[in-house]
Amino acid sequence: MRGLTRLVHVVFPLPLPLPVCRDPDDDAVLVCAVAARASIIVSGDNDLLSMERYEGIAILNARDAIALIGELKATMR
């Protein structure tokens, strides 16, 4: 558990003025990602995945996120 706390970033997101995602319940994920200044959102949710990007944040499934992270690691070597 201690190792996990180093990976946690608590955010206090502002509400979105209007529903953004076709499933309004998923808007919470979007506002948290923006508040956390995330680079990617990893999800299996089809409503989120259909957006592809939000506010410059890529929305990827797990397979594509792993591939992207692998590519980024390769360029850092």
Summarize pLDDT for 2-35 with one digit per residue, the tens.
Answer: 665 666 778 887 777 788 999 999 999 999 999 8
pLDDT digits (tens, 9 = 90+) for 49-76: 999 999 999 999 999 999 999 998 899 8
- pLDDT at residue 11 in the model: 82
Whether 35 contacts 43, CB under 8 Å: no
Buried b (16+ CB within 10 A) or exposed e, 19-44: eebeeeebbebbbebbeeebeebbbe
Q: Is the pTM of this model over 0.95?
A: no
The rounded Cα 77 to chain-centroid distance in angstroms is 25
Q: How much is the average pLDDT of 28-49? A: 94
pLDDT at position 7: 66
